[in-house]
C-alpha cells in the first residue's frame, strides 16, 4: 500500500567547525500525498540534501515531526527504509562490485530469486546492457549515475528520494533517464521527492517547492 508523509515543525541546525551554528531547516512543514511527485529547488548549500536525508531516515532529525502513513499505520522515517529507494548525489555505489552486482544486491538482500535478471533488465533500460560486468571505476560519472538510478528503482520502492539524479547527464540521456524514473514511479504508485537545480524538470513534478531560509515555499 502507498505511503504518504507529513512533516511539521522540522528544524535542523549544524555546528560549523569554528563553533558557530548554521540553521538549515527552521520549523519546516511539508505534506507528500501517496503517489505524489514533489521537486525541491533552492540555492546551493541551503540544505536540500540534508532535508532529503532526514526525511529518508538516513540522518536523525533534531526537532519536529516526520511521520509516514500507510493504511492506518504510522511509521517513523527509519521504518520506511525497506520500502524506499535513494539516488544519492555522490551515487554511493560499492566500488568492489561491478555494475550488475551493485544493482542486484538490494534485490538479493530482499531474497529475490531472479535478482540478476531484474538487475540486468533495469541496467538495459538505462542503456548499460554492454557494461554489466564493468567495475564502477571503469564507468563515467553519468554511467555511474544511471547504475545508481537502476539500483534505486529495481526494488519497486513506495517512495523514491532522488538527489540531483540527472546532474551528470547530457540533455538527451537526462531526458531518457528522467522519463524512466517517472514511468517507474507512476507504475508502482511510488511517491517521489526530487532535489534538483533544473527548473524545467521541477515543473514536470506535481508540485515544486523552493527551500529558502529553512522553509519551503510553493513555486507551482
Ligand X SMILES: Nc1ncnc2c1ncn2[C@@H]1O[C@H](COP(=O)(O)OP(=O)(O)OP(=O)(O)O)[C@@H](O)[C@H]1O
Q: Which stretch binds ligand X (CB under 6 A): 45-53, 76-84, 121-129, 131-139?
A: 45-53
Q: Name the one range near ligand X by CB under 6 A: 47-55, 120-128, 130-138, 201-209.
A: 47-55
Q: Which is nearer to ligand X, 122 or 209 (CB)?
A: 209
Which listed residue (7, 24, 28, 191) binds ligand X by CB under 6 A? 24
Q: Which of 81, 205, 206, 97 has the alpha carbon at shortest distance from 152?
A: 81
Q: Which of 1, 14, 82, 200 binds ligand X (CB under 6 A)?
A: 14
As a whole number of angstroms, the distance between CA 58 and CA 50 comes to 9
- Out of 47, 77, 85, 214, the only residue in the binding site for ligand X (CB under 6 A) is 47
Distance of CA 154 to the CA centre of its chain: 13
* Contacting residues for 116 by C-beta, under 8 A, at least 6 apart: 100, 104
**Residue found under cell 527551500:** 211
- Which member of 46, 93, 104, 177 binds ligand X (CB under 6 A)? 46
Question: Which ranges in 68-157 belong to alpha helices (H)?
Answer: 99-109, 115-125, 141-153
Residues in contact with ligand X by the rule CB under 6 A: 14, 24, 42, 44-50
Amino acid at each position: 500500500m502507498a505511503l504518504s508523509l507529513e512533516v511539521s515543525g522540522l528544524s535542523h541546525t549544524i555546528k560549523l567547525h569554528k563553533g558557530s551554528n548554521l540553521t538549515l531547516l527552521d520549523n519546516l512543514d511539508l505534506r507528500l500525498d501517496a503517489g505524489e511527485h514533489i521537486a525541491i529547488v533552492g540555492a546551493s548549500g541551503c540544505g536540500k540534501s540534508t532535508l532529503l536525508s532526514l526525511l529518508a531516515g538516513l540522518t536523525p532529525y533534531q526537532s519536529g515531526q516526520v511521520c509516514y502513513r500507510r493504511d492506518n499505520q504510522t511509521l517513523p522515517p527509519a521504518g520506511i527504509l525497506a520500502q524506499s529507494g535513494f539516488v544519492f548525489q555522490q551515487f554511493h555505489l560499492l566500488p568492489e562490485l561491478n555494475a550488475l552486482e551493485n544493482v542486484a544486491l538490494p534485490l538479493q538482500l530482499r531474497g529475490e530469486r531472479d535478482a540478476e535478471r531484474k538487475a540486468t533488465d533495469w541496467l538495459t533500460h538505462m542503456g548499460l546492457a554492454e557494461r554489466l560486468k564493468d567495475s564502477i571505476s571503469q564507468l563515467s560519472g553519468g554511467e555511474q549515475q544511471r547504475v545508481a538510478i537502476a539500483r534505486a528503482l529495481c526494488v519497486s520502492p513506495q517512495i523514491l528520494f532522488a538527489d540531483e539524479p540527472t546532474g551528470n547527464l547530457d540533455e538527451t540521456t537526462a531526458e531518457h533517464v528522467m522519463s524512466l524514473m517517472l514511468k517507474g514511479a507512476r507504475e508502482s504508485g511510488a511517491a517521489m521527492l526530487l532535489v534538483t537545480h533544473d527548473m524545467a524538470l521541477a515543473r514536470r513534478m506535481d508540485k515544486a517547492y523552493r527551500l529558502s531560509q529553512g522553509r519551503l515555499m510553493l513555486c507551482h
